[in-house]
Structure 1
Amino acid sequence: MKMKTPRAATRRHLPTSPFKPPAAAPPVERFAVDDRVNHDQYGLGVVIGVEDEVAVLVDFRPRQERIPAPYNKMTKL
């Protein structure tokens, strides 16, 4: 089942609008196999799999987690 995008995200900004245009979304961070990462909830880990900008599989010892994009709570070390 495909999820719908929020309606506000699909609206275009009119040049005559008195409001500022919405800020552009930051680019999604890219991870590679063997990258060391830190996650706010799970702690330190190592990337063991990458799914083309969809998700990454991370080994956090003693568990493995699939982290979907965008990776808001995860940073590369």
Structure 2
Amino acid sequence: MSTNPPTTDPHITPDIAAHVLFHLGRGGWPGSTFVQKLLQAFDIADALNRARLAAGFPEYAAAFELAKNHDDGVAFLTALVDDNH
């Protein structure tokens, strides 16, 4: 995991953060069935296909990458949700 602090991405909304957190079992709430399947696809995709998914869904890609690859990513997303609800 990266030790660099996450940066703010204006595309990550509180709802997107909550969907990613829910997918990871870290709180939040589920998105639509499509969003749940999209996050499953991010989880199982290899690097090439993850890049393809990110091209179509950059905001989910950014949130997913934060949560999975940054030490403070889950905390950052949790704070984003908590600050807006």
**What TM-score range do you get, normalising by the shorter chain?**
under 0.3
Q: Which entry has the higher C-alpha Rg, 1 or 2?
A: 1
Whose helix proportion is higher, 1 or 2? 2
Whose strand proportion is higher, 1 or 2? 1
- After TM superposition, the score normalised by the length of structure 1 is 0.22
Q: Point out which structure has higher relative CO (alpha carbons under 8 A, 6+ apart).
A: 2
- After TM superposition, the score normalised by the length of structure 2 is 0.20
